[in-house]
């Protein structure tokens, strides 16, 4: 869908708000012109096009409505879940949030963000109406990233799941290291979830590489720096008394961080490896 | 290429100190670890001024109050505690210690559409510069156009002002970062969480010219979300200004307030997704100023509710302004 076509999702007028200026239409290369540094996040999720429209109404805060064509449902999911989602379900798209006046959702290959400069009863009505119209303009739903299904469901905290490609995003969700120890990039996928376990919460991540050789190399470089003291099962007690572990499963590297016990870390790794081996082709292709 | 075996990791931060959480280690509290180089410097003074009425009922900046707050802060900043009590001096006289009548002064503001420098503050600075004897046509106010602005090209003095906010690339939008628009290629500074932003301050257009730094803390943004990195619910009415001649000390103090707010809001230490390391690096690598809270003398004036930060014992400042890149005349 072209940038011009994206604009057709946006209402020409909503409860007295009208476009205040010509729409901004952007590609991955020009998105910096619109959202500055945050563009790198959406570029990492392979954004294709985006449209931004600023609505104004006298005596009311401006409203910014943005539609991002992420190219695939998986990346729309990733873009939406890049941010912590702690607000109420707005009832739009495949997952949505309304929080203090702002509404976001994803549906099919689109990520949508509607932000008022301030919150008023009138702006809430306009924001919700805009969102509903965009939702209706997207005819179908899309599948979440297949890797999400590899994360164990048992104990996973609601809304804790993230999907990403590069280490900048990973660090935003769970800081591991300044450098890209896991060799993450455009050709890799990752998922991260937070889990509840006896003794405390922990993180579980799965990273997928193009080949099994790639995952082996990534595990080695990661372990050399982050887990040099790991035992034969790849677990190590970190400086805060928690446990970390990492292991390979075919094209995947599985990592556990902040586990409250060694047993928790070992079991989480083993269970996830089983899940991957049951679901994925683990040949070195 | 970075030697990965020497990469900084989460475990390094955990190793860094007893009970040191990642949240604080990656952000502000790492500033507490004085470097060898910085430990030889003197102290820096920062003034925090707050007023319950700094914002109107609708949350907009109160144009009647802000000039007085700025006056109080600058007067306190430039006072010698040994001879005069802070806050009771003559603001025009205080400004004259910062600015000469023959200066050409660029006020480097920030116009980010969601949280810009309040216009009444820009006007108040301009008024005080005129009071200090600077002709109106020798004063300029700009942000994104500073490289093309003839006045900024011949400026002999700079006043640096911006609101503090979380920032996608640098952890926080700081006074140190506010000069990025002087550079022809701002993205060049994005590497490593913008760690080396203090290097901007060595550009000829900037070096040695900054007389005053004002970090606007009226409604700081303590958390970012969404494509525009803004959501009104992540601002709060702190109603303050942080003022100093040392940009690093002012930024470090503002960062402590944002960290405290994040702890309060989230109920736990909450790391900045992007560590605001450039403030510590400004001290340790560039010697631009002092980030170590133990060597920042914070003076607090005005409203104390919800302060979120404890001032340290106040001692005479006099000639002990710590910033190396400022010039007090």
Alpha helices in chain A (DSSP H): 3-7, 32-35, 39-44, 73-81, 121-137, 167-173, 212-226, 262-279
d(CA B77, CA B86) in angstroms, rounded, equals 8
pLDDT band at A36 (very low <50, low <70, confident <90, very high): confident
Residue A61's H or E segment, with its range, is strand A60-69
Domain membership of residue A48 (yes or no) is yes
- Of A79, A108, A137, the one marking the end of a domain is A137
Closest-CA residue to A65 (of A140, A142, A1, A129) = A129
| Chain B residue set in contact with A, beta carbons under 8 Å | 2, 4-5, 7-11, 14-15, 22, 26, 59, 113-114, 167-169, 187, 190, 192-193, 225-233, 271, 273-275
Domain membership of residue A130 (yes or no) is yes
- Is 90 exceeded by the pLDDT of residue B172? yes
d(CA B196, CA B193) in angstroms, rounded, equals 8
Q: Are residues A16 and A44 in the same domain?
A: yes
Q: Are residues A67 and A158 in the same domain?
A: no
Task: Give per-residue burial for A102-112: e unless 16+ CB within 10 Å, then b.
Answer: bbbbbbbbbbb
- Residue B176 to residues B37, B189, B243: CA-CA distances in angstroms? 19, 12, 13
Predicted TM-score (pTM) of the model is: 0.78
- Of A102, A137, A172, the one marking the end of a domain is A137
Token pair belonging to A30: 């020009």
Domain membership of residue A85 (yes or no) is yes
Q: How close A266 comes to chain B (CA, Å)?
A: 19
Place of tokens 């470097």: B35
| Chain A residue set in contact with B, beta carbons under 8 Å | 32, 35-38, 40-42, 64, 66, 68, 83-84, 99-102, 104, 113, 115-119, 171-173, 175-179, 181, 221, 224-226, 238-240, 257
Q: Are residues A10 and A110 in the same domain?
A: yes
pLDDT band at B6 (very low <50, low <70, confident <90, very high): low
Q: B184: burial class by Cβ within 10 Å (0-12, 13-18, 19+)?
A: exposed
Q: How close A168 comes to chain B (CA, Å)?
A: 9
Domain membership of residue A58 (yes or no) is yes
Write down the ipTM of this complex. Answer: 0.82
Record: contact A83-B4, CB cut-off 8 A: no
How much is the pLDDT for B23?
36
Give the pLDDT confidence of A17-27 residue by residue, as tens digits: 999 999 999 99
How much is the pLDDT for B160?
98
Domain membership of residue A284 (yes or no) is no
- Residue A106 phi/psi, 5-degree rounding, is -130, 150
d(CA B93, CA B82) in angstroms, rounded, equals 17
- Of A78, A113, A137, the one marking the end of a domain is A137
- Is 50 exceeded by the pLDDT of residue B26? no
Q: How close A123 comes to chain B (CA, Å)?
A: 13
Q: How close B192 comes to chain A (CA, Å)?
A: 7
- Check if the beta carbon of residue A150 is closer than 8 Å to that of residue A275: yes
Domain membership of residue A285 (yes or no) is no
- Check if the beta carbon of residue A192 is closer than 8 Å to that of residue A170: yes
Query: How many CB contacts within 8 angstroms connect chain A with chain B?
Result: 104
Closest-CA residue to A284 (of A205, A217, A227) = A217
Q: What is the CATH number of the domain that holds A229?
A: 3.40.1000
Domain membership of residue A29 (yes or no) is yes
d(CA B288, CA B308) in angstroms, rounded, equals 26
d(CA B58, CA B316) in angstroms, rounded, equals 39
- Is 90 exceeded by the pLDDT of residue A253? yes
pLDDT band at B1 (very low <50, low <70, confident <90, very high): very low
Q: B96: burial class by Cβ within 10 Å (0-12, 13-18, 19+)?
A: middle
DSSP B181: G
Average pLDDT on A255-276 reads 96
Give the pLDDT confidence of A74-93 residue by residue, as tens digits: 999 999 999 888 889 999 99
Give the pLDDT confidence of B271-325 residue by residue, as tens digits: 887 889 999 999 999 999 999 999 999 999 999 999 999 875 444 333 333 333 3
Sort out which chain B residues have CB atoms less than 8 A from A245's CB and list them. Answer: none
For B329, the 3-state DSSP assignment is coil
DSSP string, B59-105: SSB-TTTHHHHHHHHHHHHHS-TTTS-TTSS-HHHHHHHH--TT--E
How much is the pLDDT for B86?
47
Average pLDDT on B95-108 reads 97
Return contacts of B185-189, CB within 8 angstroms, 24+ apart: B187/A32
Structurally, chain A folds into a number of domains equal to: 2
Q: Are residues A106 and A166 in the same domain?
A: no
Nearest CB to A102 within list B2, B169, B226: B226
Q: Are residues A115 and A153 in the same domain?
A: no
- Is 90 exceeded by the pLDDT of residue B129? yes
Q: Are residues A61 and A163 in the same domain?
A: no
pLDDT band at B41 (very low <50, low <70, confident <90, very high): low
Record: contact B168-A41, CB cut-off 8 A: yes
User: Which residue from A minimizes the CA distance to B3?
Assistant: A179
Record: contact B9-A177, CB cut-off 8 A: yes
User: Containing domain of residue A172, as a range?
Assistant: 146-279
User: Helix crossing, B66-78 with B91-98: angle to 10°?
Assistant: 60
The Cα angle at residue A260 between residues A257 and A262, in degrees rounded to 5: 80
Q: How close are the terminal C-alpha atoms of chain B, in Å? A: 44
Q: Are residues A49 and A118 in the same domain?
A: yes
Checking DSSP bridges between strand B44-50 and strand B296-302, what pairing results, if any? parallel
User: Which residue from B minimizes the CA distance to A241?
Assistant: B14
- Residue B310 to residues A279, B216, B220, B225: CA-CA distances in angstroms? 55, 18, 18, 29
Q: Are residues A159 and A124 in the same domain?
A: no
Q: Are residues A121 and A153 in the same domain?
A: no
What are the structural domain ranges in chain B? 45-302
Q: Are residues A87 and A196 in the same domain?
A: no
- Sign of dihedral through CA atoms B118, B124, B125, B130? positive
Domain membership of residue A161 (yes or no) is yes
Q: Are residues A181 and A95 in the same domain?
A: no
Token pair belonging to A251: 């094209």
User: Testing the interface with A: which of B2, B6, B10 to mutate, by most A Cβ within 10 A?
Assistant: B10
Q: Are residues A45 and A124 in the same domain?
A: yes
Give the pLDDT confidence of A200-224 residue by residue, as tens digits: 999 999 999 999 999 999 999 999 9
What is chain B's mean pLDDT, rounded?
85
Q: Which residues contact B192 (CB under 8 A, 6 or more apart)?
A: A178, B277
Instruction: Identify the weakest region by mean pLDDT among B51-60, B101-110, B267-276.
Output: B267-276
How much is the pLDDT for B89?
78
Nearest CB to A225 within list B5, B169, B229: B5
What is chain A's mean pLDDT, rounded?
93
Nearest CB to A100 within list B167, B193, B232: B232
């Amino acid at each position: 869908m072209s940038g011009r076509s994206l604009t057709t999702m946006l209402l020409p007028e909503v409860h007295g708000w009208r476009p205040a200026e010509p729409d901004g239409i952007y590609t991955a290369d020009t998105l910096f012109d619109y959202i500055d540094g945050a563009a790198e996040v959406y570029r990492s999720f392979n954004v294709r096009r985006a449209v931004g429209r600023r609505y104004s109404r006298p005596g009311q805060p401006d409203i910014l409505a943005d539609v991002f064509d992420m190219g695939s449902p998986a990346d729309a999911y990733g873009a939406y879940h890049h941010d912590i989602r702690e607000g109420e379900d707005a009832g739009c798209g495949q997952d949505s949030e309304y929080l203090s006046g702002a509404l976001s959702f994803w549906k099919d290959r689109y990520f949508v963000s509607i932000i008022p400069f301030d919150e008023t009863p009138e702006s809430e009505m306009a924001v919700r109406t805009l969102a509903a119209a965009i939702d209706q303009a997207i005819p179908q739903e899309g599948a979440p990233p297949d890797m999400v299904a590899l994360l164990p469901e048992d104990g996973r905290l609601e809304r804790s799941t993230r999907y990403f490609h590069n280490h900048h995003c990973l660090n935003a969700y769970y800081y591991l290291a300044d450098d890209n120890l896991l060799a993450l990039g455009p050709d890799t996928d990752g998922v991260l979830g937070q889990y509840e376990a006896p003794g405390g919460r922990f993180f579980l991540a799965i990273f997928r590489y193009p080949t099994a050789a790639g995952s082996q190399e990534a595990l080695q470089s990661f372990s050399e720096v982050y887990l040099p003291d790991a035992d034969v099962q790849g677990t190590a007690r970190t400086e805060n008394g928690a446990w970390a572990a990492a292991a390979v499963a075919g094209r995947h590297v599985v990592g556990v961080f902040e586990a409250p016990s060694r047993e928790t870390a070992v079991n989480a790794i083993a269970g996830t490896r089983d899940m991957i081996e049951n679901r994925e082709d683990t040949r070195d292709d | 290429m970075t030697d990965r075996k020497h990469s900084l990791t989460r475990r390094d931060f955990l190793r860094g100190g007893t009970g040191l959480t990642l949240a604080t280690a990656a952000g502000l509290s790492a500033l507490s670890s004085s470097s060898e180089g910085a430990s030889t410097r003197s102290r820096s003074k920062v003034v925090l001024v707050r007023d319950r009425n700094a914002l109107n009922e609708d949350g907009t900046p109160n144009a009647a109050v802000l000039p007085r707050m700025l006056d109080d802060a600058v007067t306190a900043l430039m006072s010698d505690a040994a001879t005069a009590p802070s806050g009771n001096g003559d603001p025009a006289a205080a400004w004259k210690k910062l600015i000469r009548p023959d200066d050409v002064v660029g006020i480097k503001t920030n116009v980010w559409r969601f949280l810009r420098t309040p216009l009444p503050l820009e006007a108040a600075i301009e008024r005080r510069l005129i009071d200090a004897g600077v002709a109106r046509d020798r004063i300029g106010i700009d942000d994104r156009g500073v490289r093309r602005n003839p006045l900024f090209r011949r400026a002999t003095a700079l006043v640096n002002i911006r609101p503090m906010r979380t920032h996608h690339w640098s952890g926080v939008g700081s006074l140190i970062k506010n000069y990025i628009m002087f550079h022809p290629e701002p993205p060049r500074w994005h590497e490593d969480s913008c760690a080396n932003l203090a290097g901007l301050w060595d550009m000829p257009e900037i070096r040695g010219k900054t007389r005053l730094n004002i970090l606007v803390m009226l409604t700081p943004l303590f958390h970012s979300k969404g494509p525009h990195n803004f959501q009104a619910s992540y601002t709060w009415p702190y109603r303050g200004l942080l003022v100093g001649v040392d940009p690093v000390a002012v930024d470090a103090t503002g960062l402590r307030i944002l960290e405290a707010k994040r702890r309060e809001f989230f109920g736990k230490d909450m790391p900045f997704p992007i560590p605001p390391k450039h403030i510590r690096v400004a001290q340790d690598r560039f010697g631009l100023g002092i980030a170590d809270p133990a060597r920042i003398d914070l003076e607090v004036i005005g409203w104390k509710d919800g302060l979120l930060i404890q001032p340290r014992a106040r001692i005479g400042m006099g000639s002990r302004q710590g910033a190396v890149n400022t010039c007090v005349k």
